[in-house]
Amino acid sequence: MNKPTLYTSLSPALLDLYNVRDCIVVVIDILRATSTIATALYNGAKSVIPVDSVEKCMRLGRDMECITAGERDGKVAEGLQYGNSSFEYPRSFIEGKILVLTTTNGTRLLHMALAKGATDIITGSFLNLSAVCDYLIKENKNIILACAGWKDKVNVEDTLFAGAVVHRIKAGFTINCDASNMAQCLYEQAKDDLYEFMKKMDASHYHRLMNFGLERDIRHCLAEDVANVLPYYVDERLVSLRSSGG
Amino acid sequence: MNKPTLYTSLSPALLDLYNVRDCIVVVIDILRATSTIATALYNGAKSVIPVDSVEKCMRLGRDMECITAGERDGKVAEGLQYGNSSFEYPRSFIEGKILVLTTTNGTRLLHMALAKGATDIITGSFLNLSAVCDYLIKENKNIILACAGWKDKVNVEDTLFAGAVVHRIKAGFTINCDASNMAQCLYEQAKDDLYEFMKKMDASHYHRLMNFGLERDIRHCLAEDVANVLPYYVDERLVSLRSSGG
């Protein structure tokens, strides 16, 4: 029996090379959209609505009485209430609420995948790595690991996460994809200390966030399984499917 | 004084993210266009004319009495005389001749760079790694390492070559580019035995060429400095600028 396929798209600008229709698309934006999504859902948010513009975020916030949040170029976007940091969404604040989120790269990529016909979308981050891998193994469908990057440029942290997934689930999939194999090789170099690796690699996003004083955010976003939910996109929002172990 | 910048574009589909106008563009297609170009020029070809279609290749061959060569999907293209293997171009055959070459990825990328306004284009391969690095250090200009990949997909061997260049010349350049740093990290893992690394990585192009019985070609294309010329694009053709050490 043929195993399902696994491909990694290292940038939104490469997503067109893959057929997103008949597979699970894992949207990856480690710093920080998909980490924030995992945290908010883990801490009891009813749902996270990813939108692709600040205007839409504000409109939904008014119409539905949700919390509006998002960033442009790494800072809280003007007109929105909150930013794109996991630390802004403790259980005491977010439980039972709806979060409307727009970010430079991650939410934009999710909408690109939708526009290309994807029907099966989840989001992945180190915070929910096991939930993502468990789900992908259980579903046994073709997979595209879709990295958000930074304005279409490939980045280290999203690539490392793709590599982490490949590292864990490769036995069950046909991987005829150099990007996946390279990502896995990098992850194996990095896995003992992802933060140190980011620093050593002089990662561009590491610098960008360090300049905003966000070291704590970066460290948090590289911690495995501390918000181990499965954000699944349905009815225009991300809701949590708790993993079997969660 | 600011150092010039160095960026790596891992796929032709990402080239748009970089400004090719004010820099040296290094076109990289290890298996096998830029390896063949280095070999033909090293063995005394007068020039190599890269063209983007089989038809144009045949027309130039007739009009100028050149040798026509090229591949589509890894095999000699119908209507052309020769393929895309270094072993087809020994000195006894190619010396003093003009080679017109068209390939699936490498020559196409060169024409993309031209269309985007690049004016300073060289081609790189392991066979002429030192000549490329010496030239880039001497020129001290901004650099884009442009990987041809395979039909816009990222591949291992072009990424490794970009990493080899970064590894050698990084001290002289500002590298705010995750793709460059990741490529270098992969090269450092691979450098003791590039062929074994390709095999271990299950590289897709490795399989493609192995299926055509081209192991000898792959091994040859991973050998450093055995055809140490600098192919430079001028007047619609690539000519050899011999490196100072060559």
**What does the pLDDT look like over B72-102, one tens digit per residue?**
877 788 889 999 899 999 999 999 999 999 9
| Tens-digit pLDDT profile for residues B214-235 | 888 899 999 999 999 999 999 9
| Residue B108: cis peptide before it, omega within 30 degrees of 0 | no
Per-residue pLDDT band at A8 (split at 50, 70, 90): very high
Q: Which chain B residue has the Cα nearest residue A198?
A: B178
Q: Does residue B74 contact residue B23 with C-beta atoms inside 8 Å?
A: no
Q: Which residues of chain B have pLDDT under 50?
A: 243-246
Indicate yes or no: pTM above 0.90. Answer: yes
Contact A159 B178 (CB under 8 A): yes
Residue carrying structure tokens 């061997």: B157
Type of residue found at A189: Q
| Tens-digit pLDDT profile for residues A88-122 | 999 999 999 999 999 889 999 999 999 999 999 99
Residue scoring higher pLDDT (A216 or A225):
A225
* 3-state SS class at B244: coil
Mean pLDDT of chain A: 93
Enumerate the residues of chain B whose CB falls inside 8 A of the CB of residue A179. Answer: 153-154
Using CB atoms, which residue from A16, A176, A202 is nearest to B181? A202
Q: Which chain A residue has the Cα nearest residue B200?
A: A181
Write out the DSSP string of A13-71: GGGGGS--TTSEEEEE-TTTHHHHHHHHHHTT-SEEEE-S-HHHHHHHHHHHTPEEEEE
Enumerate the residues of chain B whose CB falls inside 8 A of the CB of residue A178. Answer: 153-156, 159, 201, 203-205
Using CB atoms, which residue from B179, B185, B205 is nearest to A154? B179
Report d(CA A233, CA A97) in Å as an integer.
17
Contact B202 A175 (CB under 8 A): yes
Per-residue pLDDT band at A207 (split at 50, 70, 90): confident
Contact A153 B205 (CB under 8 A): no
Q: Does residue B225 contact residue B128 with C-beta atoms inside 8 Å?
A: yes
Report pLDDT for B100: 96
Contact A177 B153 (CB under 8 A): yes
Residue scoring higher pLDDT (B143 or A78):
B143
Residue A1 has pLDDT above 80, yes or no: no
Using CB atoms, which residue from B14, B153, B181 is nearest to A152? B14
Contact B182 A186 (CB under 8 A): yes
Enumerate the residues of chain A whose CB falls inside 8 A of the CB of residue B10. Answer: 10, 154
